[in-house]
């Protein structure tokens, strides 16, 4: 089993702490409520996540599928596509409500 360390801070602030103690990450997983976060905060979060990942590392997040219809979420997907080399989505229809998994590769 892999060790888990909890760092009590805003997600966009933890990259320097993690890099200093553990080095670049293979994987970052997020369930943050992106649909209610500002685009500026999302940009900061995605920049910090990109800094935290090693080349080829992955950032995976889930959002509820119905939120993808929001104009802000279209902009969020554009930000992700600019920040990561590959962005893929898949829908989990059996989740209630259905969820979309977003897989981003650095």
Could you tell me the CATH number of the domain that includes residue 61?
Answer: 3.40.50.150
Residue 13 within a domain: no
Task: Report the relative pairing of strands 25-30 and 53-64 from DSSP bridges.
Answer: parallel
Residue 29 within a domain: yes
Residue 10 within a domain: no
Model confidence at 30: pLDDT above 90: yes
| Residues 46-55, mean pLDDT to the nearest whole number | 95
Model confidence at 1: pLDDT above 90: no
Closest CA to 103 of 86, 91, 79, 78: 86
Instruction: Quote the number of domains for the chain.
Output: 1
The predicted pLDDT at position 83 comes to 95
Q: Which residue has the higher pLDDT, 32 or 12?
A: 32
Averaged confidence pLDDT in the chain: 93
Judged by DSSP in three states, 90 sits in strand
Compute φ and ψ for 99, nearest 5 degrees. -115, 150
pTM of the model: 0.87
62 to each of 22, 56, 99, how far by Cα in Å? Answer: 25, 20, 6
Residue 75 within a domain: yes
pLDDT digits (tens, 9 = 90+) for 59-80: 999 999 999 999 999 999 999 9
Model confidence at 2: pLDDT above 80: no
Closest CA to 71 of 35, 99, 27: 35
Those residues with Cβ within 8 angstroms of residue 100's Cβ, 6 or more apart along the chain or in another chain: 62, 63, 64, 65, 68, 89, 90, 91, 92
The predicted pLDDT at position 3 comes to 74
Residue 98 within a domain: yes
Closest CA to 84 of 29, 38, 48, 46: 46
Q: Which residues face 27 on adjacent strands?
A: 58
Residue 15 within a domain: no
């Amino acid at each position: 089993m892999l060790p888990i360390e909890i760092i009590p801070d805003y997600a966009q602030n933890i990259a320097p702490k993690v890099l200093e103690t553990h080095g670049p990450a293979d994987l970052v997983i997020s369930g943050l409520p992106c649909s209610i976060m500002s685009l500026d905060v999302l940009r900061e979060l995605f920049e910090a996540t990109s800094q935290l990942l090693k080349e080829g590392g992955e950032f995976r997040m889930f959002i509820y599928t119905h939120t993808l219809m929001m104009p802000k979420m279209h902009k969020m997907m554009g930000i992700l596509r600019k920040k990561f080399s590959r962005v893929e989505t898949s829908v989990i229809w059996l989740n209630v409500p259905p969820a979309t998994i977003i897989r981003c590769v650095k």
